[in-house]
Amino acid sequence: MTIKTHITDYLIVGSGAVGMAFADTILTETAANIVIVDRHHKPGGHWNAAYPFVTLHQPSAFYGVSSRELSTGCKDEVGLNKGLNELATGAEVSAYFDNIMREQFLPTGRVKYFPMCDYKGDSNFESILTGQKHHVDVNDKTVDCTYLKTTVPSTHTPNFDVAAGVNFMPLNDLPNIQTPPAGYVIVGGGKTGIDAVLFLLQNGVNPDHISWIMPRDAWLLDRQNTQPTEEFFTSSIGAQANQMEAIVNSTSINDMFSRLEASGVFLRIDENVWPKMFHGATVSKMELTELQRVKNVVRMGRVVSISADKIKLQKGEISTTLNHIHVDCSASAISNLAMKPIFAEGLITPQTVRSYQPVFSAAFIAHVEAAYPDDAVKNKICNVVPLPNTDLDWLRLTAAFLMNQHIWSKDDGLRKWLLNNRLDGFSKLVRSVKPDDMEKLMILKRMRDNGQPAMVKLQGYLAAIQQGQTA
């Protein structure tokens, strides 16, 4: 079988949210041609294997590609997100990306899309279905949108032993349960664990029939503080001002977290347990109240093994039965936390340049690629904001985010781009403040007055952490 050769400007590996957001900006801002390769049968990446009741954790307005709105502009009127801007379902997100490929990208004639193909490296890929081999001559750069290695529960292999006969499933299978079990054991305290517990509670499961294995408690973000519409200005921009003041006025790292919680920036499930994890998960206040209904929370570390009658953990064990359903929520959404320069010779490796915003980051990186002359300049603009795992990682990502914001604020072109890009909801929100709106102006003043001092305080804490002082 002969190798098919293609010529393009950009070879994008991965048509998930990051790859689609990057491609969209390149198509909009340049005349470049693109080849997109992906192992899934349609665009959307991990959304193709997401659990059926998944939704976005942040408003739909923050998600998707720059050129096409995902949000319908509505607020949720029912459910645990009631009163806040809508959260697109997994099915809506998947259809959105499929439509963009079919209705926007391919009709340009500048995009060649190869689904169901494995990328082999060195500009080579191969069809999973036919074995046809392809090679791409790349004029500009390869864009590796697989670097962060997103994982999902349905394809995750747990790192603990599960004995034969144990009723063990990913949360994808919860809607398929046919008969009531003796109880439910949720394994994992992250976003998927939260979603699994909320799914059970909202479908009438008695909270006393749920055991929640939570190796680490997490600091959570109040979703009300992420709303990009004017009616939520006091919550969203006010939370940013509160965050700066909490950092500046703190006397230690623990005191800082206490102030962040007291000012409404952070939430936690149990006020008696100090969180050690931070993944950037958002919840509404109603969701938090629901989660607090589950009283059997097991804090004995990670699962070591599950047998017919017991679950062995790092710090103890609990009993179980073959009639219990054990729900695997232990997969990490991002399995590669290592950072590398985004721009290198012949290669772009998209990573986050703004906290919690991978798709915005991809669009921004594509704009910088199109608008700036060399990789050294591009990397100075696009410092990687590390993805968080522990509570102390919040300091690192916040310091990096503030540094990027400072750099961007000095560039007229970047300020204009941010103001006009739909994925950056807060720039428009800040710019919309009227000269006579003293309440909002005071919030902005608090945020700006404390920005630089907050950076200095964070750098001091990070230096202390390096020296082994974390209190």
Per-residue pLDDT tens for 40-84? 999 999 999 899 999 999 999 989 999 999 998 899 999 999 999
| 1 burial level (CB within 10 Å; 0-12, 13-18, 19+) | exposed
In the listed set 283, 309, 328, which residue is the last one of a domain according to the structure?
328
Q: How confident is residue 307, by pLDDT bands cut at 50, 70 and 90?
A: very high
Asked if the structure places residue 374 within a domain, the reply is yes
Query: Residue 149 is which amino acid?
Result: K
Asked if the structure places residue 233 within a domain, the reply is no
Helix 393-409 to helix 438-466 angle (10° resolution) is 130
Q: Which residue has the tokens 């340009």?
A: 108
Say yes or no: 183 and 60 in one domain: no
Residue range 366-390, pLDDT digits in tens: 999 999 999 999 999 999 999 999 9
81 DSSP 8-state letter: T
CB 402 within 8 A of CB 454: yes
Say yes or no: 168 and 301 in one domain: yes
Say yes or no: 44 and 159 in one domain: no
Q: How confident is residue 470, by pLDDT bands cut at 50, 70 and 90?
A: low
Q: How many CA atoms lie within 13 A of 149 on its CB side?
A: 8
Q: 185 is in which domain, residue-wise?
A: 153-219+268-328
Say yes or no: 184 and 63 in one domain: no
CB 97 within 8 A of CB 43: yes
In the listed set 343, 372, 389, which residue is the last one of a domain according to the structure?
389
Asked if the structure places residue 257 within a domain, the reply is no
Domain with residue 189: its CATH number is 3.50.50.60
Residue range 318-349, pLDDT digits in tens: 999 999 999 999 987 655 568 899 999 999 99
Task: Say yes or no to pLDDT of 254 above 90.
Answer: yes
Please count the residues of the chain: 471
Nearest to 173 by CA among 330, 329, 334: 329
High-pLDDT (> 70) share of the chain, %: 98
Say yes or no: 145 and 39 in one domain: yes
- Mean pLDDT (whole number) for 122-136: 97
- Mean pLDDT (whole number) for 196-211: 98
Q: How confident is residue 290, by pLDDT bands cut at 50, 70 and 90?
A: very high
Say yes or no: 323 and 355 in one domain: no
What are 413's two structure tokens? Answer: 């072109």
Say yes or no: 281 and 302 in one domain: yes
- Mean pLDDT (whole number) for 210-218: 97
Asked if the structure places residue 356 within a domain, the reply is yes
Say yes or no: 61 and 120 in one domain: yes
pLDDT of residue 333: 63
Q: How confident is residue 295, by pLDDT bands cut at 50, 70 and 90?
A: very high
Domain count within the chain: 2
CB neighbours (10 Å) of residue 385? 24
CB neighbours (10 Å) of residue 264? 17
Residue 197 parent element (H or E): helix 191-202
Residue range 147-185, pLDDT digits in tens: 987 777 777 788 899 999 999 999 999 999 999 999 999
pLDDT of residue 334: 59
Asked if the structure places residue 409 within a domain, the reply is no
Say yes or no: 69 and 97 in one domain: yes
Beta bridge partners of 325: 184
Asked if the structure places residue 455 within a domain, the reply is no
- Mean pLDDT (whole number) for 29-35: 98
Query: Residue 263 is which amino acid?
Result: S
Asked if the structure places residue 263 within a domain, the reply is no
Say yes or no: 171 and 315 in one domain: yes
In the listed set 308, 328, 348, which residue is the last one of a domain according to the structure?
328
Asked if the structure places residue 421 within a domain, the reply is no
Say yes or no: 137 and 166 in one domain: no
Distance, in Å, from the CA atom of 459 to the CA atom of 446, rounded to the nearest integer, reads 20
Say yes or no: 32 and 133 in one domain: yes
